[in-house]
Amino acid sequence: MKTRLVENRQTANYHRSGRTDKGVSALGQVISLDLRSKLIGAAGSEGGPASEETPADRAPVSEELRYAHILNRVLPADIRVLAWAPAGREFSARFSCLHRTYRYYFPGGGLDLGRMEAAARLFEGTHDFRNLCKMDVANGVLNFRRTVLLARVRRVLGPDQEEEEGRREPGSPYGMCLFEVRAQGFLYHQVRCMMAVLLLVGQRLEVPSVVTQLLDIHSNPRKPQYSMAVDYPLVLYDCAYENLEWVFDSDAHAFNVTHLQAMWTQQAVRSQLLYSFLQGLGQAPHKLQADDGPDPLRDWGRAQPPQASQADSLLEGVRPRRYRPLMERERCEGLESRIRHYAKRGRIELPEGMREEEEEEEGRVRRKRRASRDGENGLAE
């Protein structure tokens, strides 16, 4: 609106591809909307009514308004337009998306990545994920079946592979890893719940087959109580579409690269400082050893068990002193109970099947009361 590219959000036909929580980042977020065009008149603009031309019929995109350049001049520093693409009127960033990919970054210190990978693969396929999300019943979400196309856990090399292998090799507590998951659609907090379970598996607190148990809603219709993973390592990494030709503005692209390099420099220096601090604390005095005399220093990096507890900081809440397995914990309120709760408050309507069950139950109660009254009247006579 500030750049006069749209009149307002309501008339701009605005859609966004994915939803991100507060604290979650997006690299591949895509939005669609009707913008003022230099080549095609948009409704409400000086160009007159919207044209019926398709993107293929229009003039070369090099003659179009420099959308990325215009918008990046007024956007906050942490939001940038990377490119734009002409699209037909039937296109929607939300409904035309083929699939979305999320990535969750985490250090591998103290984690069994083999177990995490085995557990992650069990997410693939079409399942009911009600035990691995926050059930958003109040907003009318009653179907929790989703299709996961890919779920993998792997290590991540640094920007300079040789330097990374020399300084912070992937096998060290400070080597970075990621959980990548691709699906046609996601539920509220689904990836963060999935990651929480994977972290428990990686810490050997749960076995990989716990994923199968959580996906079995017939045996486990109610979600065990557990904390989900924190938000900041999660990124909406990519959104896939057919027949989109992205247009990059060379000046805007150069500015984006420079801007991100500056941000990376600040964070990389801070990361290196912290790593140096940890190296400095890596050796410290410890108790005398009776067999071979005093040893003034101990290499805490090679301590057994390893002094690596990064995974604890990636789960919300406080870790209890005594761990209780997921399937032995208290259960959350079931789906049907939540549906009835919000239906009574008028937030949603009961599904037809549950409405019929309610009517049958009310009929049984009325018949029982009528029979009780008839029995009392007979005794009185």
* pLDDT tens string 198-224: 999 999 999 999 999 999 999 999 999
Which CATH number fits the domain that encloses residue 187?
3.30.70.660
* pLDDT tens string 13-69: 999 998 778 889 999 899 999 999 988 754 434 443 444 455 445 567 778 999 999
Q: Are residues 148 and 268 both part of a single domain?
A: yes
Predicted pLDDT of residue 229: 95
Q: pTM of the predicted model, to two decimals? A: 0.82
Q: Are residues 228 and 320 both part of a single domain?
A: yes
- Domain end position, chosen among 66, 96, 126: 96
- Catalytic (active site) residue 216: no
The total domain count for the chain is 3
Q: Are residues 323 and 346 both part of a single domain?
A: no
**Residue 66 falls inside a structural domain:** yes
Q: Are residues 147 and 166 both part of a single domain?
A: yes
Q: Are residues 222 and 316 both part of a single domain?
A: yes
Q: Are residues 124 and 203 both part of a single domain?
A: yes
Q: Are residues 339 and 262 both part of a single domain?
A: no
Q: Are residues 44 and 106 both part of a single domain?
A: no
Partners of residue 84 on adjacent β-strands: 247
**Catalytic residue of the set 21, 160, 216, 312:** 21
More confident residue, 249 or 360: 249
**Residue 177 falls inside a structural domain:** yes
With a CB cutoff of 8 Å and minimum separation 6, the contacts of 276 are none
- Domain end position, chosen among 51, 74, 96: 96
Q: Are residues 324 and 180 both part of a single domain?
A: yes
Q: Are residues 145 and 75 both part of a single domain?
A: no
Q: Are residues 12 and 56 both part of a single domain?
A: yes
Domain range for 348:
335-380
Q: Are residues 194 and 329 both part of a single domain?
A: yes
* pLDDT tens string 328-370: 999 999 988 888 888 888 888 888 777 766 667 676 777 777 7
